[in-house]
Amino acid sequence: MAQLETRGLTARYGDFQALFGIDLTLDEGETIAIIGANGAGKTTLLRSIAGVLRQDPGMVRFDGQDIGHLPADEIMARGIAMVPEGRKLFPSLSVEENLLIGAYGRKVGGAWTPDAIYDLFPILKERRNNPGTALSGGQQQMVAIGRALMSNPRVLLCDEISLGLAPVVIRDIYAALPRIRESGASVVVVEQDIGTALKVAGRVYCIMEGRVTLEGTPDTVSRDDIHRAYFGAAA
Amino acid sequence: MIGADTIIQGVLLGGLYALFAAGLSLVFGIMRLVNLAHGDLIVLAAYLLLVVTTALGLGPFVALLVAAPAMFVIGWTLQRVVLNRVLGPDILPPLLVTFGLSVVLQNALLEGFTNDSRRLRAGPLETASVDLGVAMVGVMPLMTFASAVAVILALQWLFYRTELGRAFRATSDDPVTASLMGVKPASIFATATGIAMLVVTIAALFLGTRANFDPTIGPARLIYAFQAVIIGGLGSLWGTLAGGVIIGVAQTVGAAINPEWQILAGHIAFLAVLLIRPRGLFPRAVD
Ligand SMILES: Nc1ncnc2c1ncn2[C@@H]1O[C@H](COP(=O)(O)OP(=O)(O)OP(=O)(O)O)[C@@H](O)[C@H]1O
Ligand SMILES: [Mg+2]
């Protein structure tokens, strides 16, 4: 049984339908990537899993239980943490407080403590008392990842953690991924950068206009397949 | 004659206004909600204290231990059942609802208690005074001011040193992202209003022991509270204390010049501060 699964997941914003029946699975310990063009529905998919957008109960299943209807705080308490698009640090909180609040709704113990996060991203320790928003983009992304890890999640959802960052910084951030996996978390990364996605994930899903257009392992999908799945057959 | 004595009386009066204002400041800071019934809730708490003192034969300070938790529950329920439903991007619905609540509270208190003036009795403390060297000051005003400082210290500690305080600030910044941390914004808001009502009960204690009250005096207390919050800078608790002191000093100085100028002088001080510092004395950096 998959750890996390969506079944015919649909989502709408008012009259506008953003997702048309997404089926995906994530096994325990696995890392999957979701790729797709701007506006494809990647963020909508993660927000639906995380409970920010609430759907029908059976559309999202976690540990064999229907969770599609639960609010974000209850889903987080079950062990699904999200690094939201755009980082969304709390400006009124220091770096350390941003980390601490990551465990607010789930205190289960585990590998991730503030010290473990500082070990993963040493620069944050120096900046621990600064406001979260006084950091560089890459450092802020580290705080956002650390904040999500603080709940010792079983599933970590990462929405475009490389967005707007320089290549070396992206490398630094992705260098943390193996240790995150070692802590037992399964990972879903949403990426615009196909190269990065194929490098880190065991399987990739490509989404176009709210539908899965391609699914496979990095060594079985070709660049052409991806190009078609990304932009449609006409492109 | 305006001497040190007048200024000291004004500062101490400012403590009372800061107590009126602290709850308003707290609620505004966390959920951007302007509660127009705040003054009437202070009056409600004063009547609750009155009922507890007369029914149980307790002094007002002991009655606080009964009334404050009751007010917490009232605030929590009010937020959970009514105000959470009207919070949103549009600021008009909460204004209308709390204005309606203000009217309802005044009428309910009139029904229940008539418009007779009431007073909370604090016994010999009412007339006790101490010599501060420069002036004789009443023990009750001194306690009022000390309570205001204590309340603000406690709220500062809650805000900046506790996990609940972190959740308050995070929810104020961004409730959706806060919910990703496991915070339930609806219950955070309810807890905040409950805590504001604890402060309201303390304010009511000093309001009711200092002077007479009746069901109609709420809106004027709201105005002083408002002025203190705005002069201090929205969302700053120490600013709220400073704002209360400025209003209090202006009022006593105004009254010393001409008794009819007391209230007017407070309003003029309010306008004067806003002319010089339109965002108040200590505006919060992030809004
Ligand atoms: N709050 C909203 N209200 C209305 N429509 C929305 C809202 N958020 C997203 N959409 C629409 O839903 C569709 C999917 O958006 P989504 O943000 O999920 O895309 P995305 O794949 O994450 O894109 P990007 O790569 O730009 O982040 C888009 O057409 C978008 O315009
Ligand atoms: Mg997106």
How many angstroms separate the CA atoms of A42 and A212, rounded?
10
Q: What is the mean pLDDT of residues A12-28?
A: 96
**Percent of chain A scoring above 90 in pLDDT:** 88
Among the CATH numbers 1.10.3470, 1.20.58, 1.25.40, 1.10.20, which is that of B4-115+133-276?
1.10.3470
**pLDDT interval class at A234 (50, 70, 90):** low
Q: Does A104 touch chain B (CB under 8 A)?
A: yes
CATH classification at residue A132: 3.40.50.300
Q: A interface mutation test: which of B159, B160, B180, B286 has the most A CBs within 10 A?
A: B180
Ligand 1 in reach of A57 Cβ (< 6 A):
no
Could you tell me the residue range of the domain that residue A73 belongs to? Answer: 4-231
Q: Do B178 and A90 touch (CB under 8 A)?
A: yes
Give the number of whichever ligand sits closest to the CA of residue A39: 1
Note the Cα A39 to chain centre separation in Å. 16
If we measure between CA atoms, which residue out of B240, B202, B171, B223 comes closest to residue B32? B171
Per DSSP, the residues of A21-88 read EEEEEE-TT-EEEEE--TTSSHHHHHHHHHTSS---GGGEEETTEE-TTS-HHHHHHHTEEEE-TT--
Tell me phi and psi for residue B118, to 5 degrees: -120, 170
pLDDT for A165-193, tens place per residue? 999 999 999 999 999 999 999 999 999 88
**CA-nearest residue, atom 7 of ligand 1:** A13
Q: Identify the bridge partners of residue A9 per DSSP, sorted by sequence position.
A: A22
The predicted complex's ipTM stands at: 0.94
CA of residue A65 to ligand 2 center, whole Å: 26
CB under 8 Å to B44, separation ≥6 — which residues?
B71, B74, B105, B109, B204
Ligand 1 in reach of A47 Cβ (< 6 A):
no
In chain A, which residues have their Cβ closer than 8 Å to the Cβ of B181?
73, 76, 101-102, 104-105, 147, 151
**CA-nearest residue, atom 2 of ligand 1:** A13
* Count of structural domains within chain A: 1
The model's pTM: 0.93
Q: Do B172 and A92 touch (CB under 8 A)?
A: yes
Q: Does A101 touch chain B (CB under 8 A)?
A: yes
Give the number of whichever ligand sits closest to the CA of residue A85: 2
**pLDDT interval class at A65 (50, 70, 90):** very high
pLDDT for B282 beyond 50: yes
Confidence (pLDDT) at B287 = 47
B139 burial (CB, 10 Å; 0-12 / 13-18 / 19+) is: middle
**CA-nearest residue, atom 24 of ligand 1:** A38
Confidence (pLDDT) at A231 = 80
pLDDT for A226 beyond 90: no
